[in-house]
Amino acid sequence: MYEGLLFVVSGPSGAGKGTICKRLKDKLNIDLSVSITTREPRPGEVEGVSYYYVSKDEFTKVLDEGGFLEYALVFGNYYGTPKESVMQSLKKGRDVVLEIDIQGAMQIRKTSPDAVFIFILPPSMSELRKRITGRGSETEDAINMRLGKALKEVSYIDKYDYCVVNGELNEAVERVAAIIKAEHSRVSEDIYDLIKMYKEELPC
Ligand code: ADP
Ligand code: 5GP
């Protein structure tokens, strides 16, 4: 059986990664990895859906047990991708999307070179500010910190396979969905099984 494909989605905070990934889950029936974090839940976020919220000690315990596929310190909080659930989904042949920061993405590049890396960009910095402010969960200082980091992050874009500007939401979702579908049509080792079957079917 074919394994599912692993997709990594990164981009500045507020660019719309979470919004796009949620739409993709419904549209393509893919698995979204739920990260573990030490940050506090935002209003409206749901334990086990948005994140698993843990203390620093609990995070360290999972880390020491080798339970993370990758992890990083982002804006003063720890975030990590639980290894076991991602591996199980991939083994079942399901595609998995990781919505993670660049530090985590670079770790995945080393450990899973076949993963596909997608960078989500905002249409402008003023729109990015508007989206972060609109979320209503960050102080002015935190917003400025996220905007400053956004500029640094875009310099990593050449480490990614695709970039999608999230201007009009439906258009951005369509584009990321098209990338996921196209990746399933890559010429890869798996296709030789099908070609072998053609040969077996032919009477000789
Ligand atoms: P991220 O996951 O990248 O931090 P979110 O998905 O939380 O970003 O989006 C940040 C805010 O911007 C949310 O309030 C979301 O509803 C809004 N948003 C996302 N995409 C768009 C878009 N294409 N147009 C307008 N607002 C958007
Ligand atoms: P937020 O606090 O806005 O939900 O997320 C802050 C940043 O952490 C975002 O860039 C998000 O993609 C990233 N992030 C979320 N989960 C993970 C994870 O498991 N690993 C890493 N490396 N980054 C993550």
Model pLDDT for residues 48-103, shown as the tens digit of each residue: 999 999 999 999 999 999 999 999 999 899 999 999 999 999 999 999 999 999 99
pLDDT band at 190 (very low <50, low <70, confident <90, very high): confident
Q: Which residues pair with 70 in a beta bridge?
A: 81
Residue list, ligand 1 pocket, CB within 6 Å: 11, 13-19, 131, 134-135, 166, 169, 172
Q: Which residues pair with 53 in a beta bridge?
A: 37
Which ligand 1 atom sits nearest the alpha carbon of residue 21? 6
Tell me how long the chain is.
204
Q: Is residue 112 within 6 Å of ligand 2 at its C-beta?
A: no
What's the per-residue H, E or C state across 8-74?
A: EEECCCCCCHHHHHHHHHHHHCCEECCCEECCCCCCCCCECCCEEECCHHHHHHHHHCCCEEEEEEE
* Domain ranges across the chain: 6-33+94-201
Which ligand 1 atom sits nearest the alpha carbon of residue 120? 3
> What percentage of the chain has pLDDT greater than the value 90?
83
Q: Is residue 101 within 6 Å of ligand 2 at its C-beta?
A: yes
Q: Residue 204: what pLDDT?
A: 66
**Cα(91) to centroid(ligand 2), Å:** 24
Report how far residue 27's alpha carbon sits from residue 191's, in angstroms, rounded to the nearest whole number.
26
Q: In the predicted model, is pLDDT for residue 142 greater than 90? A: no
Q: Across the chain, what does the average pLDDT equal?
A: 94
6-33+94-201: CATH topology is Rossmann fold (3.40.50)
Tell the residue nearest (CA) to atom 11 of ligand 1.
Answer: 131
Report how far residue 91's alpha carbon sits from residue 112's, in angstroms, rounded to the nearest whole number.
14
Mean of the pLDDT values across residues 31-54? Answer: 95
Q: Residue 130: what pLDDT?
A: 94
> What percentage of the chain has pLDDT greater than the value 70?
99
Q: Residue 2: what pLDDT?
A: 61
Q: How far is CA 173 from its chain centroid?
A: 14
Q: Is the entire prediction scored with pTM above 0.75?
A: yes
Tell the residue nearest (CA) to atom 14 of ligand 1.
Answer: 135
